[in-house]
Amino acid sequence: MESAPDTSRPAGSLGPTRVPSRQAIESVRGRKVAVSLDRPAGASREWEPTSGARRTPPTLAEVTSIFLVGAECAMRCTMCDLWRHTLDHPTPVGALPRQLAWGLRNAKWDSESARLSPESVLSSERWIKLYNASNFLDPRSVPIADWPELAQAIAPFDRVIVENHPRVRPRRAAEFARLLTAKLEIAVGLEAADDEILLGLNKRMTLADFVSATERWHEENIDVRAFILLAPPGAEPARATSLVIDTLRFAERHGVRHASVIPTRGSNSLLNALAPDGRFIPPAAGDLEATLAAALQLRFDMVVTADLWDWDGLRGHCETCREARRARLQRMNLTQRHESPSRADCRCSKG
Ligand code: SF4
Ligand SMILES: [Zn+2]
């Protein structure tokens, strides 16, 4: 018997929210970046933990990430800046296999991961992320005619992770999984376990939608990863960490394998437009540190990591402490263990 979706609110939102129209969202966007159909927007390699804080010691997988260029997502989430590297038309057949082949040849190791000593690497699994800044199961973004070639190219990998919104063709996942030798994992923007905040983000998804899609995928032996926003617009700034913790609890209850905490980026002009009424205050470096520390100390039964992609763009660090603090977070990501901060001799760490 299926259990009823647990969609209880953690009471973290600022209350009733105006939902911006599609036109309002598009009117404050800047220009797209010039992209090529033959090359991905990026290709990198790094280590990632395969198990969370409850399992010791955590093992690591070598993860190749290919940032594919394809059709723009049909959604218009207010905090999204992924549209910058997308096309205004459907992805042409053949473009993604070409980009994937280029990415596999040219992916560069992340500098911090490359420094990791081989003795600390206890797993030899190879994983690949095929992130397309949209929904992998939407044929406008990933032509179904390309599926067999993509599946063949990633045959050497043990796990493939793709991104998809819970309401965009979730039933198609099993068809793609059948073409793979690797385990399929779907990464979903859960953002916050609060329907009011999801409404304000224009996610066009409720927590019940998330639960329904994850239950379906789990039945089909497909794993789920969740992206969780730190300090999304509409959330009480003082509750930034506790809202993430509530959302991690929700994700764990619903069988998420890996949760990645992403600081909401202030570079998005719509979010800046929301700032005057206090609905959006970009998170600081210290907020991300406090949140990862709290999460790891709670020892969830899933991997929890902090997304460090835009660490340099966060406020609240300086030239003296920036690199040391980033390296500490990266070690915490990999070991799934809390590490006490060292006292950096700088003004911002005393603030
Ligand atoms: S569903 Fe994902 S890719 Fe699409 S607009 Fe929302 S955040 Fe961006
Ligand atoms: Zn500093």
Please give the pLDDT value at position 4.
Answer: 42
- Segment 247-265 shows an average pLDDT of 97
Please give the pLDDT value at position 281.
Answer: 86
Which residue lies with its CA nearest to atom 2 of ligand 1? 134
Report how far ligand 1's centroid is from the alpha carbon of 59 (Å): 31
Question: How many whole angstroms separate alpha carbon 136 and alpha carbon 123?
Answer: 28
Please give the pLDDT value at position 240.
Answer: 93
CA neighbours closer than 13 Å in the CB half-sphere of residue 281: 13
pLDDT digits (tens, 9 = 90+) for 75-102: 999 889 899 999 999 999 999 999 999 9
Please give the pLDDT value at position 290.
Answer: 96
Please give the pLDDT value at position 346.
Answer: 79
Q: Is 304 in the pocket of ligand 1 (CB under 6 A)?
A: no
Say yes or no to pLDDT of 7 above 60: no
Please give the pLDDT value at position 111.
Answer: 72
Cis amide linkage into residue 57, ω under 30° from 0: yes
Tokens at 161, concatenated: 């992770």
Residue 190 φ/ψ, nearest 5 degrees: -75, -35
pLDDT digits (tens, 9 = 90+) for 28-63: 888 899 999 999 999 999 999 998 888 766 788 999
Nearest ligand 1 atom, CA 201: 6
Please give the pLDDT value at position 120.
Answer: 60
Which residue lies with its CA nearest to atom 6 of ligand 1? 77
Buried/exposed 22-45: b ≥16 CB within 10 Å, e otherwise: eeebeeeeeeeeebeeebbbbbbb
pLDDT digits (tens, 9 = 90+) for 277-297: 667 888 999 999 999 999 999
Nearest ligand 1 atom, CA 74: 4
Question: How many whole angstroms separate alpha carbon 219 and alpha carbon 287?
Answer: 36
Report how far ligand 2's centroid is from the alpha carbon of 292 (Å): 19
Please give the pLDDT value at position 8.
Answer: 42
Q: Specify the amino acid at residue 333.
A: N
- Segment 264-288 shows an average pLDDT of 79
Which residue lies with its CA nearest to atom 7 of ligand 1? 80
What are the structural domains of the chain? 33-340 (3.20.20.70)
Please give the pLDDT value at position 5.
Answer: 41
pLDDT digits (tens, 9 = 90+) for 155-192: 999 999 999 999 999 999 999 999 999 999 999 999 99
Say yes or no to pLDDT of 151 above 50: yes
Which among 29-33, 136-140, 270-274, 322-326 has the top mean pLDDT? 136-140
Q: Give residue 23's pLDDT band: very low, low, confident or very high (50, 70, 90).
A: confident
User: Do residues 163 and 141 touch, judged by C-beta distance below 8 A?
Assistant: no
Mean pLDDT, the chain, whole residue set: 89
Q: Is 205 in the pocket of ligand 1 (CB under 6 A)?
A: no
Report how far ligand 1's centroid is from the alpha carbon of 82 (Å): 7
Please give the pLDDT value at position 28.
Answer: 81
- Segment 131-139 shows an average pLDDT of 98
- Determine the distance from the C-alpha atom of residue 263 to the mean position of all C-alpha atoms in its chain, rounded to a whole number: 10
**Least confident among 24-28, 33-37, 143-147, 218-222:** 24-28
Q: Give residue 1's pLDDT band: very low, low, confident or very high (50, 70, 90).
A: very low
Q: Is 245 in the pocket of ligand 1 (CB under 6 A)?
A: no
Q: Is 187 in the pocket of ligand 1 (CB under 6 A)?
A: no
Q: Is 189 in the pocket of ligand 1 (CB under 6 A)?
A: yes
- Provide, rounded to the nearest whole percent, the portion of the chain with pLDDT above 70: 87
